[in-house]
């Protein structure tokens, strides 16, 4: 062992400090997950840390667990990575020994953090492990040197790409424009002329579908050769179709033009009845667009990184940047993210600020976060007027109709909300945020079967599903009596919904007979100002018309010891 590698006892102490941090301690599942992977690696059992073993040993999944259909380990690993990052940025900023969970892996790394190392590597570079794996390997100094070289290469690549987008000097000046992509025809490699129809026309389908998102500039590139050496778009989307195991496999590849690097790829395998579908190409395009058009998809990563890191954005405001900031608000629901989005929209020129899309976003911010003067009723009235104008200005914008649907839902006009959600889906059937919002609305109205059918594929298929997507999975797990799973999903949902999330977690804890879960979430319910002002169920009735769900909440809360008077009146 090199002198720089953390000793086992140092790692164990670092683990205990993490487990004692309130943000991790309040989530029993994440604490157990972290302890499990760290302790296994300390015992020299890193090879046994797999998604299957974590699912069975930590999350209580049955022996027939299939990680391809149940994404719980991937989802919880993403949450754990986020908490580890927060800990070392905040309470644990002075920690000398750190535990990291690399993206795409479940085996933790133990690193010794040296003061000032951040600046030496460059902002945002990952910590360099202080030594080799515990089963032996190259000297620690080799890893440090390799780490510096890799960090330098990453920074150089980032600079060259940024300079290409913003001018030779790399200065970040001018509005941030939406990403542009050229879609070329997919090449058939089946060797059978009868299969040409399985690829011909897919590029046109993709161009049409991606244009519905309004945050991407999409162009048709014809054959691949048509773009060679002359494409000026940021990305090129290409692909192939080939025969495999009696079926077809579509492979899509997204290449960054500046670096000629592949930044994303996806394979879709079809056989049987799928191959005989009349809308085969439409189905493939929908599945690819679901990822590529997604706010968290590969085309928007650079803009999201810029918007999320706290960088001053003055002078960079554009309709696209404002939409990115608005999407970040949608995911977190935080006041800070709402203010950043509103500031961006207000800074736009008159024409951009007066567009249907900008008006719809501003109306949502007014209705949901209450900026400005006036009573709640006055703000809602103003937001409704803004949305009506937005629809007139942009009648075929799925984004505008989605915001109108959310507004109707907020004010309890559920029939109008469902009609607006239906229009949203017709305009853009690949908008996962709108699908998830509609599914949640179905559940709140008592149509949980329809909600589950809509929401089921979203967690597995959409990139980095935000916490609010987990409402319907939590409700469905409660209905099916899968209380352990309901605890997990409700805990995730509670990050986005401070009202309903903790209530669902209490219900799941009651069903599981786990007093620790109930005791963890019940104080959040009782401390919430909106509940204290109006009563728990009175407040939730503004959003939920499903009397069966409200009754189940009442029973669970009373069983947990909530005073009956607190359900329907302020306390």
pLDDT digits (tens, 9 = 90+) for 389-422: 999 999 999 999 999 999 999 998 999 999 999 9
What mean pLDDT value characterizes the chain?
A: 83
For residue 169, is pLDDT > 60?
no
Q: With bands split at pLDDT 50, 70 and 90, how would you rate the model's confidence at 165?
A: low
Question: Judging by DSSP bridges, how do beta strands 187-188 and 261-270 pair with one another?
Answer: unpaired
- Establish if 379 belongs to a structural domain: no
For 95-110, the three-class secondary structure string (H helix, E strand, C coil) is: CCEEEECCCCCCCCEE
> What angle, rounded to 10 degrees, do the helices at 432-444 and 398-410 form?
20
- Establish if 273 belongs to a structural domain: yes
Could you please report the per-residue DSSP string of 295-344?
Answer: TTSGGGHHHHHHHHTT---TT---HHHHHHHHHHHHHH--HHHHHHHHHH
Percent with pLDDT over 90 in the chain: 50
Q: Give the end of a domain, one of 235, 268, 293.
A: 293
User: At a CB cut-off of 8 Å and minimum separation 6, what does 395 contact?
Assistant: 356
Percent with pLDDT over 70 in the chain: 85
Q: Work out the average pLDDT over 330-356.
A: 90
Q: Work out the average pLDDT over 232-245.
A: 88
For residue 253, is pLDDT > 80?
yes
Q: What is the pLDDT of residue 170?
A: 42
User: At a CB cut-off of 8 Å and minimum separation 6, what does 224 contact?
Assistant: 184, 185, 187, 238
Could you please report the per-residue DSSP string of 201-225?
Answer: THHHHHHHHHHTTSSSEEEEEESGG
Q: What is the pLDDT of residue 181?
A: 94
> Do 132 and 196 fall within a single domain?
no
- DSSP code of 242? E
Q: Work out the average pLDDT over 358-386.
A: 87
> Do 137 and 229 fall within a single domain?
no
Q: What is the pLDDT of residue 536?
A: 95
Q: How many CB atoms lie within 10 A of CB 411?
A: 16
pTM of the model: 0.72
The CATH number that applies at residue 246 is 3.40.50.10070
The sign of the dihedral angle between the CA atoms of 464, 466, 469, 470 is: positive
Q: Work out the average pLDDT over 264-277.
A: 80
Q: Which of 97-106, 166-175, 230-239, 471-480 has the highest mean pLDDT?
A: 471-480
Alpha-carbon distances, residue 57 vs 53, 137, 315, 518 (angstroms):
6, 29, 51, 22
Q: Which of 28-32, 65-69, 212-216 has the highest mean pLDDT?
A: 212-216
> Do 476 and 568 fall within a single domain?
yes
472 sits in which H/E element: helix 471-479
Measured distance CA(399)–CA(381) in Å, rounded: 20
> Do 149 and 199 fall within a single domain?
no
Q: Work out the average pLDDT over 421-439.
A: 93
Q: What is the pLDDT of residue 115?
A: 56
Measured distance CA(366)–CA(406) in Å, rounded: 13
> Do 211 and 271 fall within a single domain?
yes
Q: What is the pLDDT of residue 309?
A: 65
> Do 499 and 442 fall within a single domain?
yes
- Establish if 313 belongs to a structural domain: no
- Establish if 82 belongs to a structural domain: yes
> Do 488 and 455 fall within a single domain?
yes
Q: With bands split at pLDDT 50, 70 and 90, how would you rate the model's confidence at 510?
A: very high
3-state secondary structure of 540: helix
Please give the tally of structural domains in the chain: 3
Alpha-carbon distances, residue 9 vs 5, 97, 175 (angstroms):
12, 11, 51
Q: What is the pLDDT of residue 268?
A: 87
Q: What is the pLDDT of residue 373?
A: 63
- Establish if 167 belongs to a structural domain: no
3-state secondary structure of 529: helix
The CATH number that applies at residue 512 is 1.25.40
Q: With bands split at pLDDT 50, 70 and 90, how would you rate the model's confidence at 137?
A: very low
For residue range 191-212, list pLDDT tens digits in order. 777 667 777 888 999 999 999 9
Residues 364 and 408 sit within 8 Å (Cβ to Cβ): no
The half-sphere exposure of 459 on its side-chain side, counting CA atoms within 13 A, is 27
- Establish if 354 belongs to a structural domain: no
Angle, vertex CA 289, rays to CA 285 and CA 291, nearest 5: 135
> Do 12 and 151 fall within a single domain?
yes
Q: Give the end of a domain, one of 139, 155, 171.
A: 155
Q: Which of 89-98, 114-123, 237-246, 549-558 has the highest mean pLDDT?
A: 549-558
- Establish if 349 belongs to a structural domain: no
Q: With bands split at pLDDT 50, 70 and 90, how would you rate the model's confidence at 229?
A: low
> Do 62 and 125 fall within a single domain?
yes
Q: Work out the average pLDDT over 226-239.
A: 77
Q: Work out the average pLDDT over 248-269.
A: 90
First to last CA, the chain: 60
User: If phi over 0 gives left and psi between -120 and 50 gives alpha, with beta otherwise, what is residue 222?
Assistant: left
What torsion do the CA atoms of 338, 339, 342, 346 make, to the nearest 10 degrees?
Answer: 180
> Do 129 and 62 fall within a single domain?
yes
Output phi, psi for 261, to 5 deg. Answer: -95, 140
Q: Give the end of a domain, one of 239, 261, 293.
A: 293
Nearest to 357 by CA among 301, 407, 405, 399: 399
Domain span at residue 124 reads 8-155
Measured distance CA(82)–CA(84) in Å, rounded: 5
38 sits in which H/E element: helix 28-42
Angle, vertex CA 472, rays to CA 467 and CA 476, nearest 5: 130
Residues 358 and 320 sit within 8 Å (Cβ to Cβ): no
> Do 228 and 113 fall within a single domain?
no
Beta bridge partner(s), residue 264: 254
Q: What is the pLDDT of residue 124?
A: 37
> Do 19 and 136 fall within a single domain?
yes
Residues 134 and 115 sit within 8 Å (Cβ to Cβ): no
Residues 368 and 410 sit within 8 Å (Cβ to Cβ): yes
Q: What is the pLDDT of residue 129?
A: 47
- Establish if 337 belongs to a structural domain: no
Q: What is the pLDDT of residue 151?
A: 43
């Amino acid at each position: 062992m090199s002198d720089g590698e953390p000793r086992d006892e140092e790692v164990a102490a670092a683990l205990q400090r993490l487990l004692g941090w309130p943000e991790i301690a309040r989530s029993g599942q994440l604490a157990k997950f972290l302890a499990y992977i760290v302790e296994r690696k300390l015992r020299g059992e890193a090879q046994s840390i797999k998604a299957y073993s974590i699912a069975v040993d930590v999350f209580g999944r049955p022996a027939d667990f299939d990680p391809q259909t149940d994404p719980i380990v991937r989802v919880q690993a993403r949450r754990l990575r986020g908490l580890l990052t927060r800990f070392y940025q905040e309470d644990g900023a002075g920690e000398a020994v750190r535990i990291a969970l690399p993206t795409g892996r479940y085996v933790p790394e133990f690193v010794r953090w040296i003061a000032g190392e951040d600046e030496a590597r460059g902002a945002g570079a990952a910590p360099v492990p202080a030594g080799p794996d515990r089963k032996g390997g190259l000297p620690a100094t080799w890893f440090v040197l390799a780490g510096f070289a890799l960090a330098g290469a990453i920074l150089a690549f980032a600079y060259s790409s940024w300079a290409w987008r913003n001018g030779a000097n790399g200065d970040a000046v001018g509005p941030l424009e939406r990403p542009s992509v050229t879609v070329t025809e997919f090449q058939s490699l089946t060797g059978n002329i009868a299969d040409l129809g399985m690829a011909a026309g897919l590029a046109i389908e993709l161009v049409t579908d991606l244009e519905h998102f309004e945050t991407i500039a999409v162009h048709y590139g014809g054959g691949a050769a048509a773009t060679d050496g002359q494409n000026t778009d940021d990305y090129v989307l290409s692909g192939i179709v080939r025969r495999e195991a009696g079926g077809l496999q579509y492979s899509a590849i997204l290449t960054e033009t500046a670096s000629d690097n592949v930044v994303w790829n996806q394979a879709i395998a079809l056989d049987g009845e799928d191959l005989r579908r009349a809308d085969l190409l439409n189905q493939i395009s929908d599945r690819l667009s679901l990822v590529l058009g997604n706010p968290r998809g590969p085309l928007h990563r650079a803009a999201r990184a810029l918007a999320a890191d706290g960088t001053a954005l003055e002078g960079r405001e554009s309709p696209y940047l404002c939409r990115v900031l608005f999407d970040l608000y949608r995911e977190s629901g935080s006041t800070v993210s709402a203010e950043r989005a509103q500031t961006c929209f207000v800074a736009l020129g008159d024409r951009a600020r007066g567009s249907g899309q900008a008006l719809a976003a501003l109306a949502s911010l007014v209705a949901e976060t209450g900026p400005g003067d006036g009573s709640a009723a006055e703000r809602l009235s103003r937001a409704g007027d803004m949305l009506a104008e937005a629809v007139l200005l942009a009648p075929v914008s799925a984004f505008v109709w989605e915001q109108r649907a959310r507004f109707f839902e907020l004010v309890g006009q559920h029939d109008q909300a469902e009609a607006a959600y239906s229009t949203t889906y017709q305009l853009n059937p690949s908008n996962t945020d709108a699908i998830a919002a509609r599914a949640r609305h179905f559940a709140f109205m008592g149509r949980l079967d329809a909600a589950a059918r809509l929401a089921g594929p979203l967690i597995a298929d959409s990139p980095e599903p935000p916490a609010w997507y987990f409402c319907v999975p939590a409700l469905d797990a409660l209905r099916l009596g899968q209380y352990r799973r309901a605890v997990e999903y409700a805990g995730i949902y509670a990050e986005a919904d401070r009202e309903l999330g903790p209530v669902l977690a209490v219900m799941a804890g009651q069903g599981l007979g786990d007093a620790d879960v109930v005791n963890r979430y019940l104080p959040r319910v009782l401390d919430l100002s909106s509940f204290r002002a109006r009563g728990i169920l009175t407040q939730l009735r503004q959003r939920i018309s499903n009397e069966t769900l409200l009754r189940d909440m009442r029973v669970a809360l009373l069983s947990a010891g909530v005073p009956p008077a607190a359900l329907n009146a302020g306390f």
